[in-house]
Copies of this chain bind each other. A is one copy, B any other.
Amino acid sequence: VTARAAVLVTGTEVLTGRVADRNGPWMAEQLRVHGVDIASVTVVGDRPDDLRTALRVLTGSGVDVVFTSGGLGPTADDLTAEIVAEVQGRPLRFDPGVHETVAAIVARLNATRGWHLDPAATDAATRKQAMVPVGGTALAPVGTAPGLIVPVAEGRAGPPVIVLPGPPRELQGMWDAALASPLVAAALANREEVRQRTLRLWGTPESELAAVLRRLGRALDPLEITTCLRLGGELEIVSRFPPDAQAAYDQFAAAIGESFPATLFSPDGRTIDDIVADLLLAGHLTIATTESCTAGLLAGRIADRPGSSEYLLGGLVTYSNEAKSALADVPASLIARVGAVSAEVAQAMAAGARKKLGTDLGVGITGIAGPGGGTPDKPVGLVYLHVSGPDGAERARRAVFPGSRADVRAGAVYLALQMVRQVLQAR
């Protein structure tokens, strides 16, 4: 058996969706890489009863370690240290050494920012953050809040609870120290390598994949396979398996390749973003965009990758018709004749991006993201996309995306990346 962990994320702002939880998934992935299996991620609000109940359930669920994130700040709704101490049977005690560390950090931070704060308020806040459960260990702060490693009380059985701060940068900065602590290392000693491999299809429905999986039957038993239909119609197949099932995985991957040769665009798990970046780099090619309904999201996404300045020279956001003409040289007469949302205008936008930025590839996107602006002829969700490449390579698509304004725009960005891939791979 593999070591197992549970994650408890605290914060009413996360529970109610005002802040997206980035810590649960990040910890899950880190633990997987370390060969630790994750049982669940639970989110509760900043309420003592809910926090206490969740901690009791998780510490009693048979996992080897429980990680918490959040609730270590200076305000009264930050309760995690207190409740963990209570559930683990380890009363809190003021730790002068931790207090000194936190106070020094806060003083330095305030000086850097030029803030002159009420000393009594600052001291009350740092004292609250310097409470450590008896028999527990503090982890050095990355921001201002220390983390905590809290074993269960002597004579009781149960996993240690590792208390980490909510801001992802602070949690991630404290992670290695948490895993290196003797208590956590001992709890997670029972590790087993778990391999994870991903295949990505585009253009195959889930039902077709299900049929192939059924046909393969028992041959898949050594693999834990999960499939997921992602935005844009990408079908992601993730397999997790122990090292001795590598041959079973290789057979499975080969079977998928044979069944879906035209739609398996990523046999090695690379995302569409990875593939487009690699193709541009390998071909020493440059790219530029002209975006209307997506208004910069495609350029912004291409620039998500470090080093993207090698191939992304820039882009035009032509939200108004005037901008389409002034920036991307789309003839006003063309817009008047066929409308701004049309195949012709998308093509002219792609050509304008190439010309204005002097790139090898140009992408044009124009559509109706909604919720208003639709007509019977041109409904909400209608998007025209065009990619112009070197040597006269062209690719044009008309698509109607379902869902919200955000769904339509994200779907268009994804489709544009697939079209760029197709143009680059056709070379």
Contact = CB atoms under 8 A, between A and B. Distances in A.
Nearest to A31: B16
A108 to B, nearest CB: 13
Interface in A20-57: 20-21, 24-26, 28-29, 32, 38-47, 50, 53-54, 57
A77 interface: yes
Interface in A101-154: 106, 110, 115, 117-118, 120-122, 124-126
Contact of A295 (B229, B315, B319): B315
Contacts of A312: 295, 319
A61 B52 CA distance: 13
Contacts of A28: 15-17
Query: A interface, how many residues as a size bin?
Result: 35 or more
Contact of A323 (B47, B76, B214, B314): B314
Interface stretch (A331-339, A385-393, A399-407): A399-407
A294 interface: yes
Contacts of A110: 205
A173 to B, nearest CB: 10
A14 B20 CA distance: 12
A226 interface: yes
Interface in A205-242: 205-211, 213-214, 224-230, 236, 238
B306 A19 contact: no
Given A73-B206, A230-B19, A296-B296, A306 B41 contact: no
B313 A210 contact: no
B13 A228 contact: yes
Nearest to A28: B16
A41 B17 CA distance: 11
Contacts of A38: 15-16, 45
A357 B327 CA distance: 8
A319 B303 contact: yes
- Which of A29, A44, A320, A406 gathers the greatest number of chain B CB atoms within 10 Å? A320
Copies of this protein, total:
2
Contacts of A96: none
Contact of A29 (B16, B19, B313, B318): B16
A41 B15 contact: yes
A327 B352 CA distance: 12
A121 B213 CA distance: 11
Contacts of A230: 19
Given A61-B53, A206-B73, A300-B297, A314 B320 contact: yes
Contacts of A320: 309, 313-314
Contacts of A61: 53
Given A294-B303, A296-B300, A314-B327, 7 more contacts: A16-B32, A40-B42, A124-B211, A125-B211, A293-B303, A295-B312, A296-B303
30 contacts: A11-B226, A12-B224, A13-B228, A14-B25, A15-B28, A15-B40, A16-B32, A16-B238, A19-B230, A20-B20, A39-B44, A42-B43, A43-B43, A46-B226, A73-B210, A73-B229, A75-B206, A75-B209, A110-B205, A118-B208, A121-B210, A122-B207, A124-B207, A294-B300, A295-B303, A296-B303, A299-B317, A306-B371, A306-B372, A309-B320
